[in-house]
Structure 1
Amino acid sequence: MEGIIEMNQVSKTFKDKKAVNNLSFCIEKGSIVAILGPNGAGKTTALSMMLGLLDPTEGDIKIFGKHPKDQAVREKTGAMLQEVSIMDRLKVKEVLDLIRSYYPQPMDMNVLIRLTGLAESDLKRFAEKLSGGQKRNLGYALAMAGNPDLLFFDEPTVGLDITARRRFWESVRELAGQGKTILFTTHYLQEADDAADRILLFHRGSLVADGTPEEIKSRIVKRSVSFLARQEGPRLREILKTLPVLSDFYDKEGRIYVNTENTDLVLETIFAEKLEVRDIRIDQGRLDEAFEQLTISQEEAV
């Protein structure tokens, strides 16, 4: 696969603080990649270096095989950062027309409006009069105005309602299906779990995990099988204690949870023993649990 972004032993130091520490990874064409990490993990600094807004202290960055500041790279790149700066006294359509005019092959205006959910009435309004959510939609439209092959989104859905968030991620998947590459940061871990093909987990400027959401969860988080007792009482729990496969259990919100690395074996045991249970569910683990365990383990290592 074609490597769109290549980071080779990249570090960034501000005075005596190393914000990014020896990052190396390659992002392939058409992928949706999430960068996760707690505040101060180096996510925005890494994005800024990939965009050419900051120069690395050490290491090498290639975008489309070129320096991030190369004109050919800029023409194929779009970005929506956390703060969207919009020119005053221009209407939304005027702003979009202006930004589109800077690119050799801009995105069709009708396609741009459809993807971002901007209404006809929004196009006629002065940009500074838009609500917070509308400004985020405009920021998304500006990022795509040049019909880029690579898109950077820094906390893209902050300030958006549920409908707007769903529309945003549907459009992102459509863009990835066209071969465009998307890199985003988010504090909404469920979004990363649902949308990303790959997750890069940062902590204290270093890359501590790299893989699909399922790979990260399967390496870190134990799965569980949960169920309800058909008749409440101590008898079922006493039986569970005698069965090694089911003995690691706990109660939570009225359900009994069995921790396991082999959900199939747990289910086989439940049916073989004809246990009096109902409403059986399998929990594959959550990304927030993996996130917490990885960052805590890194703190302990330090």
Structure 2
Amino acid sequence: MIRVKGLEKSFRSHQVIKGVSLDIPQHQCTALIGTNGAGKSTLINLIIGHLKPDAGNILDVNNVLAKGKIGVMFQKTSYPPLIKVKELFHLYRQIFKTHVSLKEFKNITCFNKETLDQNVKQLSGGQQRILDFALTAMGQPPLIIMDEPTSSMDVNMREHFWECIEALKRKGTTIFYTSHYIEEVERVADNVVLLERGKVRFQQSPEEVKQLQPSSEIRLPLRYSNLVANLEQVVNIKLAQVISITTDRVEEVLLQLRERKVDLNDIEIRKTSLLETLTNSEEEVK
């Protein structure tokens, strides 16, 4: 849907975006991740047109970056001091030709009649964020761009937000967002773009990212500690609350454990998480 090619942006003598190229596929959810200061917010502002790049271009094949076709949720939103939630809903409903119903709005926000009658400033931080999201999706845009959408949300609200994202994906909405929550990326993203110091490190699916670090972890109770010495095809063995064996040869290690009379029912095998993969990858670069 959107193709970014060679974007560059500097503020005075500091270059924030350095030749960034990436794709935002249609009808998919793309997560932009990276540490604070990596340039994520600047990149979003370039894509939506709030900033002009010093070089490079943005190819918008289906013209979804046009006014009225895009919903944008910024990191922070300022509301008039005396406006009520229900007044905001009716205001936004007048802006768009097609819009979500009041019932859909309440389903997204989890607000009841009393909350709708509240002043927006009286809402908690998490409630204001889900309100931001509901208003962003109000006009049912084909493209939604969000900058740290779940900041200030508690665990339950974040879980509900993920369900809302899954529902939008089923309807074919294209989503591009930044996040610091790795579980959020693993849960809803179809593509992951890692931005590091203004440069794109990679763009791949979460599963493809995990394959960058093919190791698996085999866990078993400490009572087997005398049986795990001198195992072959093992990267390392850690003894803590459980025995943790890291290996990229799971089958061979399991055969050795079975030969040493380890009960396979006591064994847990887990793949490296996305967070661990990214951490290991960053350490290799350093």
TM superposition score normalised by structure 1: 0.88
Aligned pairs for 1:1-302 (under 5 A) are 4-66=1-63, 68=65, 73-220=66-213, 222-229=215-222, 231=223, 235-237=226-228, 240-241=229-230, 243-246=231-234, 248-275=235-262, 279-298=266-285, 300=286
Aligned residues: 286
The 3-state SS of whatever aligns with 2:59 is strand
The 3-state SS of whatever aligns with 2:6 is strand
Q: Distance in 2 between matches of 1:109 and 1:222?
A: 49
Q: Percent identity?
A: 28
Q: CA deviation at 1:148?
A: 0.9
Q: Distance in 1 between matches of 2:36 and 2:237?
A: 33
Q: CA deviation at 1:79?
A: 1.5
Gaps of 5+ in 1: none
| Contact 2:236–2:247, Cα closer than 8 Å, also in 1 | no
Q: Quick check: 203-212 or 110-119, which moved more? A: 110-119
The 3-state SS of whatever aligns with 2:266 is strand
Q: CA deviation at 1:276?
A: 5.7
Could you give the per-residue CA deviations for residues 160-196 of structure 1, whole angstroms, max 9, x where no partner exists?
1111111100010000000001111111111111221
Q: CA deviation at 1:221?
A: 5.4
Q: CA deviation at 1:34?
A: 0.8
Q: CA deviation at 1:43?
A: 0.7
TM superposition score normalised by structure 2: 0.92
RMSD between aligned residues: 2.0
The 3-state SS of whatever aligns with 1:179 is coil
Could you give the per-residue CA deviations for residues 112-145 of structure 1, whole angstroms, max 9, x where no partner exists?
2212222221211122222212111211111111
